[in-house]
Structure 1
Amino acid sequence: MMDRLYGLGVTFGRSSREPKYKIEFHSTESPFHPENDLESVMMSDKEGQSYMCFLPLVEESKTVRSISLQNSSNSLLESDRRIKLKTPDELIDVIKDKCFYRYEGWWSYEFCYQKRLRQLHLEDDKIVQEFVLGVFDPEVTAAFNQNHSDVSMVRFVCSEPMVIISSIKEISTCKYVVTLQCPMLCKHPMFQQERPTSHTIHCNEMPRDIKDSSVEDSLKGTHIITIITDDNERGAT
């Protein structure tokens, strides 16, 4: 779904979340025993303690996500049968005539819904330099599909608690991607946030004085990765 802009394509999308990971440490007295054939890697913490860590099978979450999206689509269709839902355009109409800002060092960025996207340089709260990166035009459709070299795109995502520009990136010369968090979009079934998928990396503590030759052999030629974690969150089971 896209708003009509000249030189500024706008799309709606769900809040993008990378899978979250947590590390669970296990003592030598109570090691973790993987049920599946998990990939393992030798790691060490800042104190030099070695751990054999088992990486989770992240691929399994794709199936869960697909089911979640399918259920969301079914819920949307069912809701349409009962009530008339507001469209995403109608939901974000409350930010019409409002502007939002993001400050990134030398440059600041201003996005005014249904108006424009500007790159600004401020000195003493005064604009001393500006570049217009996109201007709203209701007569132009699918601007970012017309091979314009200076096209910028604004993504609207469901996210709490307030409307803010969460990120802006120049992916190529004069081409920007802006992400605007809009909590009002969360009212629409297709924009409701997915629950972050949590994956656990299980790490078995290795004896400091390794005398078992089989363990020593397993360490030869292994790239050691250092674990940096919050000591308050670390605990052996």
Structure 2
Amino acid sequence: MDSSSLTPTRLTTMTASDGKRYSCAIPLRESEIESELEEGEVGDFVESDSRVGRKRGASEATTTTTSVDEHLQPLEGRCFYYSNGDWWTYELCYKDRASQFHREGTTRVSSFSLGRFDRAATERLESERNATGDVEDVDDALLSEDRRYHAHVFTGGAKCEDVGAAYEDLARESEVRFVCAEDGGEGLSAVEEPATCKYILTFRTSLACNAKELRPNRPEVEHIQCSLVEDQDQDDARATSDDDGARRSSDARDREESHHAVMTDIPHPKPNDRDEL
């Protein structure tokens, strides 16, 4: 990964165990960037394409809803069921309806509508989520895991008169939260009722993983990039070493030539000198 495309870096000189010096670009943490900008102590600060946090408005919320729904399009026309082993079984038909019922054999009894898909309410919820104070930075790495979902809202369900007189005018409604299932699973995985006649259905699907903002948080690994520093001391040492080597080679040649000259001047006896004696 090229760290320069992710965060600003600071240049610093580091010395290796063999004495060689390196100039290294070290990625800065967010807190370091803010601190240096506030104090004005920028130093060897290399600006790069860092991401800037901001709030998203209603128009962007609509775009987000549309783009994620494109990834979830293969779910259209399909219904899914969930039972936690209790009395109720829950049904979700994508972008159509949600309901709960008790099953006896193949017969449905005590069935209640949990609402029908409401596009306008879905876009309002997305806009509200993006406008809240805890989403000031939309950097994916900073989003908490419990916010990594895409929601659909279902309204106008069965009245809650069966719960009690205080709720007889309250219609059931539900929120379906689509989350990334990296294991390839698909279907309803949990149902909650945080308030009377208000339901949250969690739907796991690998299709949601195609939306970057829904993927689980992964710590970004940023590399420290270093290059060897060719300083004057190293250049002088290299030059001295080269001169010493050249002198040693020259001395060796001189000794070899001198030895050859001595051997050449030694007189050799004539072949018949002994016979003449």
- Report the TM range for the smaller structure's normalisation: 0.3 to 0.5
Greater relative contact order (Cα 8 A, min sep 6): structure 1 or 2? Answer: 1
Higher helix fraction: Structure 1 or Structure 2? 2
**Computing the radius of gyration over CA atoms, which structure comes out larger, 1 or 2?**
2
TM-score (normalizing by structure 1): 0.42
Higher strand fraction: Structure 1 or Structure 2? 1
